[in-house]
Amino acid sequence: MQALRTAATGMSAQQMNVEVISNNIANMNTIGFKRQRAEFQDLLYQSIERAGAQSSDQGTIVPTGVQVGGGVKTGSVYRITQQGSLINTGNTFDLAIEGRGYFQILLPTGETAYTRAGNLSRNQEGQLVTDDGYLLQPPITIPTDATDVAISKTGIVQALRDGVAEPEVVGQIELAAFLNESGLEAQGDNLFLESAASGPPQISTPMLNGLGKMLQGYTESSNVDAVSEVTALIVAQRAYEMNSKVITAADEMLQAANAVKS
């Protein structure tokens, strides 16, 4: 019975849906996290009687035909890059991007990764790094005798040294943008890699070429909406239960058919 296989594809799709939703909920407090959404497609159809087929010698045409669907499959898991809320932390090296753009991070492999998480720190050499110690690109080194650090909306990093009246420019933050941000390949640790789908990065300074501005002392929160995710979770659970009931009904029909005696 085709209904068994069709309902099984529905249960599998809803299981994937719940996994995506659970990942969103788990990352509600992850800095710079972008929620995902599972999108589904119907499977191939079995054409029992084709629409438009001739139904008689007089040339009459079948208006609708008979097609039976084979179920559903996961078409994609789409990342929604909507801006998250900005939280004032008061930390000097916390940075948030208001608008488009990604920070560039140098991985130990030599690859460049991209992130929206701007909770940076200084390492033992005074360089700005991520929580895992990966260097911000281009490298920026804060002098050891700096008494204050200011980062402008355009990404200019200035340090005020002890005994010096004027602040010194010690670096310039550059951001990367992509034509298809949803095509970036997630690596975990709030990091993404360029892919063929995302296109090459377009590097520029903040507030130029459509890029966002820098905000010092802020971080960007996750864009997960708890109410929407819980609602979607309930809908997915109900859909899973309904597909399981279809399997139960199909099984009972097969039992009834097997019980018929000749």
105-155 pLDDT, tens digit per residue, is 999 999 999 999 999 999 999 999 999 999 999 999 999 889 999 999 999
pLDDT at 43: 87
pLDDT at 164: 84
pLDDT at 262: 54
Report pLDDT digits (tens) over 171-191. 999 999 999 999 999 999 999
pLDDT at 45: 80
pLDDT at 175: 97
Nearest to 212 by CA among 137, 120, 101, 104: 101
pLDDT at 56: 75
Q: Which amino acid is at 77?
A: V
pLDDT at 99: 95
- One-character DSSP codes across 3-17: HHHHHHHHHHHHHHH
> Can you tell me the distance from the alpha carbon of 244 to that of 140, in angstroms, rounded to the nearest whole number?
57
pLDDT at 66: 82
pLDDT below 70 — which residues of the chain? 261-262
pLDDT at 258: 84
Q: Which residues contact 85 (CB under 8 A, 6 or more apart)?
A: 220, 221, 223
Query: Dihedrals φ, ψ of 208, to 5°?
Result: -125, 150
